[in-house]
Amino acid sequence: MTKLLRNSLLSFLLFLPAAIAATPFNNALQNSQTDLEQGHAHWAIDRLEALQGQASTAEQTARWAGLLGQAHYQTHQPAHRQQALALLAQAANAQALPDTERGRYANLLANVYRESEEGAEQAAVWYARALQWAKDDAALMLTVRLNQIRLLPETQRLAALLAVSPAIADLPASTAQARLLLATGKLAQKLGKPALALAHSALTLALTAAQKQADKPLQAEALLALAQLYASQQRNDEALRLTEDALATAQDRQDAYVLWQVEAQLAQLLRQQGHADAALAAYRRAVRHIQAVRLDLPVRYDAEGRSSFRDTLYPVYLGLADLLLKHGSENTRNAQELLQEARAILELSKQAELEDFLGDHCVVHRDLGILAQARGSGTAVLYPVVLPDRLEMLVDINGTLQRFTTEVSAAELKTTTLALLKALHSTRRLPYETSAQQLYTWLIAPMQPLLQAQHIHTLLAVPDDFLRMLPLSALYDGKQFLIEHYALAVSPAVSVLAGQSPHSGQPKLLLAGLSKAHGGFEALPGVGREVRGLQAQFGGDMLLDEGFKMADFRHALAEGEHTIVHIATHAAFEGNAQDTFIKAYDGDMYLDRLQALLQSPARADTELELLTFSACQTAAGNDRAPLGFAGMALRAKARSVIGSLWQVNDVAAQKIMTRFYHHKIMGRLGKAEALRLAQQEWLREPAFRHPFYWSAFILVGDWL
């Protein structure tokens, strides 16, 4: 054997194990790419994370980082943003990759920046780099140029779209060209009447291109987009025909990601034409498709953290509930069955929104069996449903649902609610009686005879939309507040409540507080008195000011079998979980950090009965912010949370919390009743009767 041949054989043998090892890795990358193309971002994340550290070359490492970054981006959830940024930057900067591939990852990285707060400048930088690297790929270059148009002021977008459209039309026929035409049409459609001609032309060309490529999902998307364009012009017959074509095309592949949109559009059109039964069936199918793929649906967040859930998915749930309620009123024979289905749909929508808020579907339980606890206990469960033309109130008593309809528009209901909230939040003690009484008339008065006849003493509300910001305790019948008649609790969805029996032993408290000005937050002098006073009366462990550090908090939770954790410090509850935090002396505890602390192995056998935040506040005007209380309960696996909808008076907080724990611990009352008595005692003080002082406190979760 010659020396050259021997060396060649040796090299081959040395290379062979790496080649064999590389094949499964590359196959896994390809499978992940397929997951992403089919919309399964979370599947791709699981698959790719399992490959971490297994790459054998710099190119494989870069490609792995790029795909994982793309997967995090495609979730469109704030919790995934930092990982998407870091991984996509790693791939875009990797010289081991071809320029075209780097350009693709740079384009995705720019998208992440564009969709985040104050990210436009960085997005522009990365789009420019993507263009430079994509110079050998015309379709990629045009994709980047369309994304750059999204950065422009709206008044400049139509001219830019018109300028780039000829280049897209000149591309060779391909799926990439069809997608670019579809994107152009959708962008133009958002620009309104001046861009209608461009939108129609681009979408028609997209449909033709998709048909030539025999791409059924893309055909269905183009048909749906054209249908929506016609529907926006009130050309409903043409819109219906196109929607039915889209449905037939999407059903060939059973593509739930397209089918839910098509069925929702079909339901709307059928309803407008008076075909209520057919519309109901279409809505049911749309919700079924949503539930099948909801985890991977691209719910997006704007620069201020607002989710698109209520603009995209929620109207489908609400449309189905609306039709079910109407059918229930028209069909007495199976009215109860229809009302039960409507309530189940409302629960699904609320579970979905809470999952969206948390960015995590794993912590949200789905069990309506908790309602059995309410039956026979003097508790009524209220579901206010805000519809454009009316308010519906579903009332569950002992498992039987009754429906009350109030002819008030959503706009008028919201205006009155915001007027009351303005009066309640203001330290100037603005008049509240008129709006509080009007809301009582709309929300409570119609069902009051039923509540009295059934001897109801506790109301568990599952509020909707802007009503989440409203403390029901402040509703006023002209003589008394609602809290003087009923114990009150709220829940984002009854099916997420803990199902165990309430804690029956002597509670053990962990009291934590920050009274000093710290980290840009003002001092809370009442916190020191509150925490010391609670320890003096009820015992427990105390962490105050410098003693309330995250390590100390973690140690106390691990060492003590605390069933009640009371935290008196600045806490901000925002419109998404990622911005919701509690302030400790040495930093901020966000939801995931709190979850880790409260679910340590040392606490495995200790159920957390109550988590209290006595000095927190929700983001003013953000109707998703109160979901933070439910998020805290679920993350901490707590049965209940007490929090405040605005920052309350120091003295009031101290007094109400002290009396609450007195009634809860010494009087052994349920949490809702204990809070009711504490608030009642305070409002009877003439100087503090204004609901500003006492109505901010709400109980979320288990009321027992």
**Quick check: 614 and 657 in contact, CB under 8 A?**
yes
Q: What was the pLDDT predicted at 633?
A: 76
- Residue in 490, 498, 492, 496 with CA at minimum distance from that of residue 700: 490
217 contacts: CB under 8 Å, gap ≥ 6: 250, 253, 255, 257, 258
Q: What was the pLDDT predicted at 618?
A: 60
Q: What was the pLDDT predicted at 195?
A: 96
Rounded CA separation 640/507 (Å):
14
Rounded CA separation 107/415 (Å):
43
Q: What was the pLDDT predicted at 543?
A: 96
**Quick check: 605 and 563 in contact, CB under 8 A?**
no
- Number of alpha carbons in the 13 Å side-chain half-sphere of residue 506: 3
Q: What was the pLDDT predicted at 143?
A: 97
Buried b / exposed e across 5-39, counting CB within 10 Å, b at 16+? eeeeeeeeeeeeeeeeebeebeebbeebeebbeeb
- Residue in 395, 313, 302 with CA at minimum distance from that of residue 354: 313
Rounded CA separation 130/107 (Å):
5
Q: What was the pLDDT predicted at 606?
A: 77
What tokens were used for 663? 């009634």
Q: What is the DSSP string of 360-423?
A: -STT----GGGHHHHTTTTEEEEEEEEETTEEEEEEEETTEEEEEEE---HHHHHHHHHHHHHH
Q: What was the pLDDT predicted at 13?
A: 38
- Name the DSSP class of 647: P
**Quick check: 265 and 228 in contact, CB under 8 A?**
yes
Q: What was the pLDDT predicted at 302?
A: 57
The DSSP bridge pattern shows strands 400-406 and 390-397 to be: antiparallel
Environment class of residue 545 by beta-carbon count within 10 Å: exposed (0-12), middle (13-18) or buried (19+)? middle
Q: Which amino acid is at 301?
A: Y
What domains appear along the chain, each with residue ranges and CATH number? 215-366 (1.25.40.10), 376-494 (3.30.420), 505-701 (3.40.50.1460)
The three-point CA angle 597-543-625 to 5° equals: 55
Buried b / exposed e across 465-482, counting CB within 10 Å, b at 16+? bbbbbbbbbbbbbeeebb
Sheet strand arrangement including 509-513: 400-406, 390-397, 379-387, 458-461, 487-490, 697-701, 638-644, 608-613, 564-568, 509-513, 541-544
Q: What is the dihedral of CA 36, 41, 44, 46, to 10 degrees?
A: 180
Consecutive H or E run containing 487: strand 487-490
Q: What was the pLDDT predicted at 570?
A: 84
Tell me the average confidence (pLDDT) per consecutive run of 10 residues in the chain, 704 residues long: 47 42 80 88 91 93 96 85 95 96 97 86 96 96 97 96 96 95 96 96 97 93 96 95 95 83 96 95 96 74 63 92 90 87 93 77 58 66 96 94 96 97 90 97 98 96 92 97 97 74 76 87 87 95 94 84 90 73 86 71 76 74 74 80 86 91 94 97 93 94 89
The DSSP bridge pattern shows strands 608-613 and 638-644 to be: parallel
Q: What was the pLDDT predicted at 9?
A: 43
Q: What was the pLDDT predicted at 20?
A: 41
**Quick check: 308 and 298 in contact, CB under 8 A?**
no
Q: Residue 255: phi, psi to the nearest 5?
A: -85, 100
Q: How many angstroms separate the Cα of 700 from the Cα of each of 1, 489, 490, 647? A: 82, 6, 5, 17
**Quick check: 448 and 644 in contact, CB under 8 A?**
no
Rounded CA separation 349/464 (Å):
10
Q: What is the DSSP string of 676-703?
A: HHHHHHHHTSGGG-STTTTTTEEEEE--
> Helices (DSSP H) in 190-255: which residue ranges?
196-212, 216-232, 236-253
Q: What was the pLDDT predicted at 480?
A: 96
